[in-house]
């Protein structure tokens, strides 16, 4: 079974631009979560989607948004990029909304210049 796939793996953007990251969960998984990893703040939860609905949201500004499609694939969007948005963005999928473990993708490394 294929794992969680994130595209692209690397991105370089300029301040003020916007960016869209994509995540394809493990086949059959309906929950997708996003995390931001930075050296200063560590791993922080962004949001979770389940069956196309946002179920949980972390403490990030409204510039960070996401969505989930009917095939469970998810995208996250960051608008008006700031230098501090440079990070590794990790996507995780779970089989359902209950008590199951999260499986992570390789991440997308975003650099804002």
Q: Does 1 bind another protein (CB under 8 A)?
A: no
Range 18-47, binding another protein (CB under 8 A): 31, 33, 35, 42-45
- CB nearer to another protein: give 80 or 96: 96
- CB nearer to another protein: give 14 or 99: 99
Q: Does 61 bind another protein (CB under 8 A)?
A: no
Cα–Cα distance measured from residue 5 to residue 111, given in angstroms and rounded to the nearest whole number? 19
Cα–Cα distance measured from residue 95 to residue 27, given in angstroms and rounded to the nearest whole number? 9
Q: Least distance (Å) from another protein to the CB of residue 69?
A: 19
Residue 24 CA to its chain's centroid (Å)? 10
The interface region with another protein, picked from 19-27, 67-75, 77-85, 101-109 by CB under 8 A, is: 101-109
Q: Which string of b and e fits 26-61 if b means at least 16 CB within 10 Å?
A: beebbbbbbbbeeeeeeeeebbbbbeeeeeeeeebe
Whether 18 and 110 have beta carbons less than 8 Å apart is answered as no
Q: Least distance (Å) from another protein to the CB of residue 16?
A: 27
Q: What is the DSSP letter of 107?
A: -
Binding site for another protein (CB under 8 A): 4, 6, 31, 33, 35, 42-45, 48, 55-56, 58, 90, 92, 94, 97-107, 109
């Amino acid at each position: 079974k294929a794992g969680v796939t994130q595209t692209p793996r690397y991105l370089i953007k300029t301040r003020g631009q916007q960016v869209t990251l994509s995540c394809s969960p493990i086949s059959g998984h309906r929950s997708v979560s996003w995390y931001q990893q930075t050296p200063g703040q560590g791993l922080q939860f962004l949001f979770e989607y389940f069956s196309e609905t946002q179920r949980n949201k972390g403490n990030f500004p409204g510039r960070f948004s996401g969505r989930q499609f009917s095939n469970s694939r998810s995208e996250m969007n960051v608008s008006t990029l700031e230098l501090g948005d440079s990070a590794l963005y990790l996507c995780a999928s779970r089989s359902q909304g209950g008590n199951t473990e999260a499986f992570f993708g390789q991440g997308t490394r975003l650099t804002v210049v």
